[in-house]
Amino acid sequence: MSQRSEGLRAPAAIEVRGARVHNLKNIDVDVPLGELVAVAGVSGSGKSSLAMGVLYAEGARRYIEALSTYTRRRMAQAARADVDRVRHVPAALALRQRPGVPGVRSTFGTSTELLNVVRLMFSRLGSHLCPNGHRQRPSLHVATEDPMVCGTCGAEFYAPEAEELAFNSEGACPTYQGTGTVREVDDTSLIRDESSSIDEGTVIPWQMYGFKVQPQIAREFGVRTDVPWRELARWEKGIVLDGPEEKKHITVTTKNGVHELDFTFRNARLTVTAELDRANDEKRLARVSRFLIERTCPDCHGTRLSPAARAPVIGERNLADVTAMTLEEVLDWAPDAVGAVPDEMRSMARSLVDTLLRMARRLIELGLGYLSLDRAGSTLSTGERQRVQLARAVRNETTGVLYVLDEPSIGLHPSNIHGLQGVVDDLLAEGNSVVMVDHDVQVLREADHLIEIGPGSGHRGGTVIAQGTVPEVDRDPGSLIGGFLTGRERVVVRERAGADRMFDHGTLLMRTGPVHTVHALDVAIPRGRLTGITGVSGSGKTTLVLESLVPSLRAVRAGNRTRRPEHVRELETGGIEKVNMVDATPIGVNVRSTVSTYVGVLDDLRRAYARLDAARADGLGAGDFSYNTGSLRCPRCEGTGEISLDVQFLPDVDIVCPDCEGCRYGPEAEKYTRRSDGGTQELALPQLLTLTAAEAIEHVGGLKKVRAKLDALIHVGLGYLTLNEATPALSGGEAQRLKLVSELDRRQGRTLFVFDEPTVGLHPLDVRVLIEVLQKLVDQGGTVVVIEHDLDLIANADHIIDMGPGGGTDGGRIVAAGTPDGVVGEPGSVTGRYLRGHLG
């Protein structure tokens, strides 16, 4: 690359000088090139700020700079990271923690490019049909310019090229645009309740999507909206579900008076399909999917392939048969394909099969061999998607590129971690550099060089506290991670329930029938305990918890409004009535959601400030102290604390509002100050909100409710967050703990808390805090179920349900259930083997 020719010697490291991105405290650090560099530190310490915010941002910027002068000038003004100097940074690519959801046409086969090779095999090695439908022997003709000649009828024709076999192009089944399935509106899901009327809101989509005037328009058609749904005539129901998009003249009363307006009728189905068209994120898609049922295309039977694309066969199988196989099965089948072709084609066949095997090797090592090639990309889990991304990075065969990996160990069972190391080794062997943020001690131990950021989170972090090789960091007294790397320190903190008393508080029982590759299961979860669901990727953890247990419990609570999944045969709740999914998805979508609004302290504080004499004298109420809508908010940024710069060709760049410096209030707000009981300082609301929870608690004496909420924040280990911090910017782990703040002070005997890999993003020290939080939920009587790979957390579970033994068709059973010690003693449990070393 270019830096190689700069001097005689290639630079050995990226030099970062004066980095101040987010919480980084003007740090200088050298990041060795050509090695595996791991960045460690507690959550919120500044790892991503260094890895993504400095190294990736600068690497990507340099890369774009090379593109055009115009872009270069715009970028230099706006998107330069807050850093004095970064030297020797190569072009950078980032593999993100949460890759986007792929489109409907993406499958495991397409995204891994394996399908390209398989298509080529069918084009070159297949036995084809002539235009008159006579089957031909495979022949070398397909690789030449000459047409094939049918031995039976003499017709001349060309075999289809690989491209013509592609379901996402010429080989697509013409029905349903090659998606293989159709999503239709399920009429039964549109009506909440046969016994309630339209006026009572029985047409669910009109309620959900804010079409509140629709009942009134329906009346204009003559539909009775005040009688129970079941009493409506067939034509009335027809109008509601399928009626025409006609304009009707109606009278609307608002607080500003009475208006005569023309409105277009939106029937219930159309409301759903319009929402489906607009759904561009997972959340909206999930919301609208409750109204849809999927049907397999009757023409291609879900294969997405046209009849012509399904015609060529190798041995007994056509392309659709092969894409329905798992990767492992394909690899068993492919060598047989070589045997099925005439001698003169053997060498071509062998080279195609070799290519396939080479491409598949890393995917198998990453534990993805159980996925079928036609598996829709949108149904892959985050971890699976990220591993596909990783394997593809290796296939790019780049050199001199900096790869920044954000927690590649997500979803990876301890037994698959060597696969991840294999991929990193490939990238390094090709002359690339790898920087990764991770917490998994097993992964960190493999790094050539470690950079530890800390010591604390937020403004208590942001410095380099240790760096060097693993042994060097271990010896460094400033390091917090060192002891965990060598096993000197252990996370184990919790007292576990013994096997004899495990089910004392009751049992949640579920019997399921087979679904996907998961077999019928008999599941017993102890109430009031911490249960870990473990197993390699694809073994059925998600199916058990998120597709079976959670929806069946929800169905019980919802009465008849939602149905229990069909494959769940029996459920005994054991006294559990409600499910609380505590995921790590960001809280709120816009910057208006802050820590203070989320935990509810802002409401109390606004009222307290409105009670001040000065505020009363000026006629201000609690509403005026809201940064969202109040009169005191900063007019420049309208209370968001930041403004967007419009940069051409790039997503908008957000910067801190120059007027209020991010405090969200205008200067007027500074006039109203209050002093806490016994406090010494007069603080205005904007000032108070810039304090951390731990600092603010010193200033809110007397405001009991506020104190209690701040206390709870400190208890879940988030005392370092400032009150006006925007919640969407919080890390997954922070968001997860914030969601629990209001749960910890209540009895929870009727609640099941479900966590899906809560250790994502967590340092071993954070895992300690997490375990304490889980302990509090259990202390309140809560039942906790955790899907997890982290051995330190699993070692802390009272009860473990281990799925497996493998993934896909090799898994789907419960291989062991019991205490951690019990599972370690089970010879069939892979998890047990790895867990042994982690029990204190």
Tell the smallest beta-carbon distance from residue 684 to Zn ion (Å): 15
Query: Of the listed pieces 70-78, 511-519, 562-570, 766-774, which binds ligand ADP according to CB under 6 A?
Result: 511-519
Asked if residue 322 binds ligand ADP (CB under 6 A), the reply is no
Q: How far is the CB of 521 from ligand ADP (least distance, A)?
A: 11
* Binder of ligand ADP out of 377, 540, 639, 764 (CB under 6 A): 540
Give 41 or 482: the residue with its C-beta nearer to ligand ADP.
41
Q: Out of 14, 33, 38, 44, which residue is the one contacting ligand ADP (CB under 6 A)?
A: 44
Distance CA 174, CA 362 (A): 35
CB atoms within 10 A of CB 657: 19
Choose from ligand ADP, Zn ion, none: what does 379 bind? Cβ within 5-8 Å by kind. ligand ADP
Cβ at position 223, least distance to ligand ADP in Å: 38
The CB density around residue 801, as the number of other CB atoms within 10 Å, is 24
Bridge partners of 512? 521, 568
**Cα torsion angle, 254, 255, 259, 261, sign:** negative
Q: Is 612 in the site for ligand ADP (CB under 6 A)?
A: no
Q: Is the dihedral of CA 53, 59, 62, 63 positive or negative?
A: negative
| SS3 per residue for 575-639 | CCCEEEECCCCCCCCCCCCEHHHHCCHHHHHHHHHHCCHHHHHCCCCHHHHCCCCCCCECCCCCC
Could you identify the residue written with the tokens 């749904």?
229
Applying CB under 6 A, does 22 fall inside the site for ligand ADP? yes
Binding-site partner at residue 48 among ligand ADP, Zn ion, none, CB < 5 to 8 Å by type = ligand ADP
Which tokens hold the place of 642? Answer: 């930041």
Distance of CA 476 to CAs 31, 452, 473, 685, 746, Å? 18, 11, 5, 43, 43
Q: Rg of the Cα trace of the chain?
A: 30
Scanning residues 281 to 320, which ones bind ligand ADP (CB under 6 A)?
none
Among 90, 138, 367, 808, binds ligand ADP (CB under 6 A): 808
Sign for the CA dihedral angle at 407, 411, 414, 420 comes to negative
Q: In the complex, what is the shortest distance from the CB of residue 19 to ligand ADP, in angstroms, rounded to a whole number?
A: 11
Pick the closer one to Zn ion by CB: 623 or 667: 667
Given 119, 541, 776, 799, the residue binding ligand ADP (CB under 6 A) = 541
Nearer to ligand ADP, 371 or 684 (CB): 371
Regarding 405 and contact with ligand ADP (CB under 6 A), the answer is no
| Comparison of 243 and 302: residue with beta carbon closer to ligand ADP | 302
Task: Please say whether the dihedral angle defined by the alpha carbons of residues 673, 676, 682 and 684, taken in this order, is positive or negative.
Answer: negative
From the list 127, 197, 323, 731, which residue makes contact with ligand ADP (rule: CB under 6 A)?
731
Residue 49 binds which entry of ligand ADP, Zn ion, none, with Cβ cut-offs from 5 to 8 Å by kind? ligand ADP
Phi, psi of 380 (to 5 degrees): -75, 150
Q: Are 38 and 449 in contact (CB under 8 A)?
A: yes
Sort 364 into a burial class: Cβ within 10 Å, 0-12 / 13-18 / 19+. middle
Residue 610 to residues 414, 622, 626, 659, Cα–Cα distance (Å): 55, 5, 11, 24
Round to whole Å and give the CA distance between 48 and 634: 30
Between residues 337 and 660, which has the closer beta carbon with respect to Zn ion? 660
Minimum Å gap between C-beta 641 and ligand ADP is 10
539 binds ligand ADP (CB under 6 A): yes
**CA atoms of 823 and 801, how far apart (whole Å):** 9
DSSP, collapsed to helix, strand or coil, labels residue 382 as helix
Query: Per CB under 5 A, which of residues 632..661 are in contact with Zn ion?
Result: 634, 636-637, 657, 659-660
What the block records as the tokens of 148 is 């094939």
Q: Give the residue from 97, 136, 117 showing the smallest Cα distance to 313.
A: 136
Using CB under 5 A, which residues numbered 692 to 721 contact Zn ion?
none
Q: Considering the complex, state which of residue 311 and residue 373 has its C-beta at the smaller distance from ligand ADP.
A: 373
| Beta carbons within 8 Å of 360's beta carbon, 6+ residues apart | 114, 327, 330, 331, 369
Q: How far is CA 198 from the centre of its chain?
A: 37
In the block, tokens 């349900």 appear at: 801
Among residues 516, 567, 578, 750, which is the contact residue for ligand ADP, using CB under 6 A? 516
676 contributes a contact to ligand ADP by CB under 6 A: no
* Residue that has been written with the tokens 């593809």 in this structure: 392
Q: Which is nearer to ligand ADP, 40 or 697 (CB)?
A: 40
Does 370 participate in binding ligand ADP (rule CB under 6 A)?
yes
Only segment of 340-348, 489-497, 536-544, 578-586 that touches ligand ADP (CB under 6 A): 536-544
User: What are 32's strand-pairing partners?
Assistant: 13
Per-residue tokens: 545? 């918890």
Contact 160, 309 (CB under 8 A): yes
CA distance linking residue 108 with residue 377, whole number of Å: 6
Dihedral sign of CA atoms 549, 551, 554, 555 in order: negative
CB-wise, 730 or 784, nearer to ligand ADP? 730
Residues in contact with ligand ADP, total (CB under 6 A)? 31
Instruction: Figure out which of the listed residues 538, 758, 782, 806 binds ligand ADP, where binding follows CB under 6 A.
Output: 538
Which distant-in-sequence residues (6+ apart) come within 8 Å of 793 by Cβ?
491, 532, 758, 759, 767, 770, 771, 786
In the list Zn ion, ligand ADP, none, the entry touching 539 (Cβ below 5 to 8 angstroms by class) is: ligand ADP
Binding site partner of 634, from ligand ADP, Zn ion, none, Cβ cut-off 5-8 A by kind: Zn ion
Query: CB 543 → ligand ADP: shortest distance, Å?
Result: 3
Judged by CB under 6 A, the chain residues 435 through 474 that form the site for ligand ADP are 457-458
Using CB distances below 5 to 8 A depending on partner kind, what does residue 659 bind out of ligand ADP, Zn ion, none?
Zn ion
49 near ligand ADP, rule: CB under 6 A: yes
- 540 contact choice in ligand ADP, Zn ion, none (CB below 5 to 8 Å, kind-dependent): ligand ADP
Q: Is 482 in the site for ligand ADP (CB under 6 A)?
A: no
Binds 660, which of ligand ADP, Zn ion, none (CB < 5 to 8 A, cut-off by type)? Zn ion
Q: Identify which of residues 196 and 381 has a Cβ nearer to ligand ADP in the complex.
A: 381
Under the criterion CB under 6 A, does residue 597 sit at the interface with ligand ADP?
no
Cβ nearer to Zn ion, comparing 240 with 634: 634
Among residues 23, 127, 507, 819, the one that binds ligand ADP under rule CB under 6 A? 23
- Rounded distance between C-alpha atoms, residue 384 and residue 368, angstroms: 7
What is the smallest separation between the CB atom of 460 and ligand ADP, expressed in angstroms? 9
Smaller CB distance to ligand ADP: residue 50 or 313? 50
Alpha helix (H) residue ranges in 290-342? 307-310, 319-323, 327-339
As measured in angstroms, the least distance from the Cβ of 538 to ligand ADP is: 4
Residue with structure tokens 């005439």?
Answer: 342
Cα angle 127, 130, 133 (rounded to 5 degrees) comes to 95
Rule CB under 6 A: choose which of 48, 110, 202, 479 binds ligand ADP.
48
The entry of Zn ion, ligand ADP, none that residue 657 binds, CB within 5 to 8 Å by partner kind: Zn ion
- Compare residues 338 and 637 and give the one whose CB is closer to Zn ion: 637
Interacting residue with ligand ADP among 318, 517, 676, 748 (CB under 6 A): 517
Contact residues for ligand ADP (CB under 6 A)?
A: 22-23, 41, 43-49, 370-371, 379, 381, 457-458, 516-518, 535, 537-543, 729, 731, 803, 808
Residues forming the site for Zn ion (CB under 5 A): 634, 636-637, 657, 659-660
